[in-house]
């Protein structure tokens, strides 16, 4: 490939970028992240990990594409937690300067809200802690009503519990 080809390619790429990317995409992403609450089914740890992942990808957008500072990430985390957690944070009188401290605080709130009986439940049919065998609708169905998907669900639940157990094992060792 000749030097002219490379220059032509670069010029074409710049034109396509200008045509198809929104203006200042990194700033639009920042704004979106400031306005998007943590999903209820996502843990604080997973939310912050996704935020860091997005932050790393910002550098690959057209300029200006500076990654967010730790202070910006901290502000995003603080304002996107559930409102009840934000209220508790405000009432606590704490004012964490570091993202890690704030995340640790919200993790404690998250842990405190988890139902205490989650590990006391166990379904033999699904190999899961989400309900007990007596509550199991799939096991209590008449055989003619049973669905072939139940086997896939059982295997999926088992795999999820296995991954959780391995993660718990790994965290208890370290």
Mean pLDDT value across residues 16-23: 80
* CA–CA dist 46, 103 (Å, integer): 11
Q: How confident is the model at residue 22 (pLDDT cuts 50, 70, 90)?
A: confident
Q: Is the confidence at residue 1, as pLDDT, over 70? A: no
Q: How confident is the model at residue 4 (pLDDT cuts 50, 70, 90)?
A: confident
Residue 115: predicted pLDDT? 67
Q: Is the confidence at residue 147, as pLDDT, over 60? A: no
Instruction: Describe the crossing of helices 44-58 and 70-80 by its angle, rounded to 10 degrees.
Output: 140
| N residues, the chain | 174
DSSP state of 143: T
Residue 5: predicted pLDDT? 80
- One DSSP character per residue, 67-129 reads PPPHHHHHHHHHHHS-HHHHHHHHHHT----SHHHHHHHHHHHHHHHS-TTTTT--BTTTTBS
Residue 49: predicted pLDDT? 95
Sign of CA dihedral 99, 104, 105, 110: positive
> Burial letters for 2-19: b for 16+ Cβ neighbours within 10 Å, e otherwise?
eeeeeeeeeeeeeeeeee
* CA–CA dist 53, 49 (Å, integer): 6
60-94: pLDDT as tens digits:
887 888 999 999 999 999 999 999 999 999 999 99
Q: How confident is the model at residue 109 (pLDDT cuts 50, 70, 90)?
A: very high
Residue 148: predicted pLDDT? 44
pTM of the model: 0.58
Which tokens go with 69? 């500072």
165-174: pLDDT as tens digits:
666 655 544 5
Q: Which residues pair with 128 in a beta bridge?
A: 123
């Amino acid at each position: 490939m000749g030097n002219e080809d490379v220059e032509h390619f670069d010029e074409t790429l710049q034109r396509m970028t200008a045509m198809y990317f929104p203006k200042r995409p990194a700033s639009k992403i920042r704004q979106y992240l400031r306005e998007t609450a943590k999903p209820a089914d996502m843990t604080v740890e997973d939310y912050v990990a996704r935020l860091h992942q997005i932050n790393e990808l910002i550098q690959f957008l057209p300029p200006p594409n500076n990654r967010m500072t730790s202070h910006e990430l901290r502000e995003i985390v603080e304002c996107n937690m559930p409102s009840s957690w934000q209220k508790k944070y405000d009432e606590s009188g704490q004012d964490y300067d570091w993202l890690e401290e704030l995340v640790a605080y919200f993790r404690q709130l998250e842990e405190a809200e988890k139902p205490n009986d989650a590990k006391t439940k166990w379904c033999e049919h699904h190999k899961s802690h989400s309900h007990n065998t007596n509550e199991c609708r799939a096991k209590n169905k008449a055989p003619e009503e049973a669905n072939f998907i139940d086997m896939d669900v059982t295997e999926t639940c088992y795999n999820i519990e296995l991954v959780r157990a391995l993660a718990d094992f790994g965290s208890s060792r370290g």
